[in-house]
Amino acid sequence: MLTGFEAVREALVQKSEDFADRPPCSLFDHLGFRKNCEGLMMARYGSGWKELRRFALCSLRNFGLGKKSLDQRVTEEARCLCAAFSSNNGHPFDPRDLINSAVGNVMCSLTFGNRFEYNNEKFLRMLHLIEEAFNIGAGIKCQILNMMPWLVHIPGPHNNVLQPFNDSFNILREIVKEHKETRDPAFTRDLIDAFLEEIEKAKSDPESCFIEDNLIFTIFDLFGAATETTTVTMCWALLYMLLYPDVQKKVHEEIDNVIGRDRPPKVEDQVNLPYTNAVIHETQRCGDVVFAGVPRITYRDTEVQGFFIPKETTIIMFLSSVLKDETIWEKPHQFYPEHFLDADGQFVKREAFLPFSAGRRMCLGEQLARKELFLFFTTLLQHFTFHIPEDQPRPREDGCYSLIHTPDHYKLCAIPR
């Protein structure tokens, strides 16, 4: 395990390729996928992964990432989320599922070319199964099966660990099948169409990474990683607003002064909302969602801070040790937005702010996540004051750890402003 800012920075930034590989995952063999078909997140480092990541980045840009069109989609989804919050009429509710649907819809628009209503059963089932599969993937049963894959052939309750994966992939296969049936080669609607085009081009290449199995895995990775982490970060953000009403009040005042309560927030407003921006960054730092990153193995012999590390050594990049480093942050274990403000109250970037990791394996959806967090958070705070329900205890601030760090489920009251 690598800990501390200097060690993690040296590994991720200065020696990025040395730490770019992933440990093998034998469970993929039992999910019915071809050998070396591992999607984006867990794929071994090499030409196939590079080609697939390059395609994903290019496709996301083509379908809105970094463009005004995506800003508009997120803004519209934020409006839909506000309407869903309003429908509770100030009564207590758990915001997680609504937030998950909103974040999931942004990814749907990029990947599938359309969004879903928040009560759409197929949409909700897909989000639930992908979330369940990601949580199970980090659990002890899955890790044991990965180390001892022969256990899969022995009957027992442990075999159920793969069911959410299979169910998720079956739903995604149905969506891909629908795309194949309705696809117009002259018009590329979304990422799935773009991938199907690449499959057509690569038909004669048996070594190509552009095969349908990899398309399924890529969609699964994009939804699981991007949707789950952004949803959880937003849940932390609203939790902190409940626990720190003085911070919520300052955010309200800044939004009122800069944007007002009528026009929707825009990405360009971020530079004029230093305190709100600091609160979002502090939420990511303190919430510490991807606290240990995704496991890696060394691609070649290397060394960090003078210590030799052989090739194919499993490494955990303990990002929490950077985000909570006591030598860098003034109050590392407290929610303190001033970490990102200078003496004049202006926003300041911090070098040790690495919630999206860094280097060759840094989060593919960082730019999208930043837009979503800013536009969803500012829109919600523009329209609502959040309270702890009178009959509910004060929510816990410590959360629970699995693959990601999530807050315990809580309820809130969203009072229109």
| Binding-site annotation: residue ranges for heme | 363
Question: What's the half-sphere exposure (Cβ side, CA atoms, 13 Å) at 400?
Answer: 8
Distance of CA 157 to the CA centre of its chain: 30
- Known binding-site residues equal 363
3-state helix, strand, coil in the chain (%, to 5): 55, 5, 35
Q: Which amino acid is at 207?
A: E
Residue type, 277: N
- Strand, helix or coil for residue 148: coil
Of 159, 139, 157, residue with least CA distance to 149: 159
CA distance 401 to 171: 28
Alpha-carbon span 381 to 275, nearest angstrom = 13
User: Residue 200, by phi and psi: left (phi above 0), alpha (psi -120 to 50) or beta?
Assistant: alpha
- Cα-based angle 48, 229, 254 (whole degrees, multiple of 5): 130
User: Which three-class secondary structure state does DSSP give residue 314?
Assistant: strand
User: Of 1, 69, 67, 66, whose CA–CA distance to 317 is shortest?
Assistant: 1
21 and 297 Cβ atoms separated by less than 8 Å:
yes
β-strands 314-315, 384-387: how paired? unpaired
